[in-house]
Structure 1
């Protein structure tokens, strides 16, 4: 949780965190079963996303959301969902990226038992974006 606070202070500390190769550990903590650890890791990731050095992380997130393996795709979408619900500013940045198109394509798919979890999470992300006023409903 302290790392989350440090990442929120300034760009210099964010760069230091990245140079110390902490990003993979933070990503792993985002999947912990302990709620507070998972929330702190997600918030820390949100704080790191504003750093220029983490721009490629957004590309990795997009690849996760488009992955052929349904379980990996599901996890990528859950990360997007958690990030959107952790910070409205980050949600706006995510929606301004290609993530919106990815969520829309997945969310418009017909219900399917094999892919339903993935479809539901994408729809939840879009609903969150609408609730935050970032996007408007469409028909």
Structure 2
């Protein structure tokens, strides 16, 4: 993938992640998605970009019109922002997020104030500064 074309974020400050993936989710992560210009993007790259939005500690999310208090392991997101950054229509973004939710990779909550994402497949992570953190948002992986 051309990093100049796609300016995806990658998790910083993370030494390691611990995940639990279903077979279906792992197969999807190993695949690709095509953007609106016909370019293929690795699905793991898209998932990694979502992970990079995750807060590592409790605090106020920045970069949005309405600040929102997030717990460690949550990410505030915008379908419009993802659409622009990933070069895909909003309907495609919504379908992609629904697919990720169906596989247990993410959970989303939308309100009038903000959209928040959690990662139920994430068991925990280790930061380069604070050591191990157990994900409090983890719940049993869905099987389909």
Normalising by structure 1, report the TM-score.
0.33
Which has the larger share of strand? 2
Which has the larger share of helix? 1
Normalising by structure 2, report the TM-score.
0.33
